[in-house]
Structure 1
């Protein structure tokens, strides 16, 4: 049987001081989904490298980014159109953090910087679809505040109402980062500590909680594997 191809749309660069040890964001997702029989293509859309067609892959995965989806960059507007094209073509898509937000914005939702401040470190996500509580690593201030028509919110936290979204059989997106390991997150927090309040950095600079990485990796992989 032919392997499914997952196209990774890379929307940001990991901190340079961490890349030698952990690789880039595409590397993290190939490791996350390493238990599945996929092959991967990488497109650094943040640098203007785009697929030619939604059919260039059997599924699409959008990474996180330091950018805000509301920022005026040509590649973000182009990415929003590509998301709409993928949606119209019914090729499955998964989004993470920035990817979660840009999927919502492209399809008519609203994203902005959350007035309640940052979510960072291990955060408990309550899932209404599975009944689970899942601890995952968060690093964001922007949030999806209004979801697109037809989308279903299936995960939330105390500070983030629209944290996991399903788009019927087509799409699945997460505000947290299942691809982050605790050691990478600790390095990220150190590299970007100037971006967050010092008091928050002190709380999140060490990750001690067990993270539901394997559970989300399985959910994403099975979503891509599902016959359509």
Structure 2
């Protein structure tokens, strides 16, 4: 199964050698599930010809806001609507979660409550999971047809499912604890309050549920559809 990665951001230069770019984090996360991947760096203006260029799609995280006036965001929203119409499976992570919601009629904004950073607990379909977060923006209005399947007190719309076609998550199952520590070191200073980063640093040695979410994502992408 060919998965098209719609890359909407880049790893900080200081972390690139150790971790690779954003698009390389997902083949690592989904390794062993039989996928073939092709990246389209939409953040750099590189788009597929159509929704038919892959069997399924995945949208990465980004340092940008879905609501920003950037030249690549409107065509990305158009592509999301094309993918939705094509009924091909689509997964979105962080910015991907947000831009899909926005493209389909939801609302994204910079959350007045501030940042969520590091290992964070979510109620996922009645169970508790721990994933790494790195965001201030949130989906504050859910599109018609989307079901909230994961949340916490800080982020009410943390995971969404749109029927059996689209599955999105605000947190970053592709981010290891070491990667988040690197983000705090390279992007966090002056952006995220010091007390939040210190609290996150104190949690970063505990285990996460990245592998569990990877299995859910893989099963969703490969699910038989009419």
TM-score normalized by the length of structure 1: 0.96
* Equivalent position of 1:197 in the other structure: 193
Consecutive aligned runs of 4 or more in structure 1 exceeding 4 Å deviation: none
Question: May I ask how many residue pairs the two structures share in their alignment?
Answer: 223
1:205 Cα offset (Å): 2.8
Question: Are 2:220 and 1:223 aligned?
Answer: yes
Equivalent residue of 2:113, what SS?
coil
Q: Distance in 2 between matches of 1:190 and 1:157?
A: 26
* Equivalent position of 1:58 in the other structure: 55
Q: Distance in 2 between matches of 1:86 and 1:225?
A: 16
* Equivalent position of 2:37 in the other structure: 40
Within the candidate set 162, 173, 176, 1:178 is matched to 173
1:209 Cα offset (Å): 1.9
Equivalent residue of 1:95, what SS?
strand
1:35 Cα offset (Å): 1.8
Within the candidate set 17, 20, 33, 2:17 is matched to 20
* Equivalent position of 1:140 in the other structure: 135
Where in structure 2 are the equivalents of 1:64-213 lying within 5 Å? 64-128=61-125, 131-193=126-188, 194-206=190-202, 207-213=204-210
1:202 Cα offset (Å): 1.3
> How much is the aligned-residue C-alpha RMSD, in angstroms?
0.8
TM-score normalized by the length of structure 2: 0.97
Q: Distance in 2 between matches of 1:127 and 1:186?
A: 25
Q: Distance in 1 between matches of 2:111 and 2:95?
A: 14
Give 5+ residue unaligned stretches, structure 2.
Answer: none
8 Å Cα contact 1:138-1:175 kept in structure 2: yes
Within the candidate set 3, 6, 18, 2:3 is matched to 6
8 Å Cα contact 2:6-2:40 kept in structure 1: yes
Q: Distance in 1 between matches of 2:33 and 2:63?
A: 28
Give 5+ residue unaligned stretches, structure 1.
Answer: none
Q: Distance in 2 between matches of 1:139 and 1:162?
A: 15
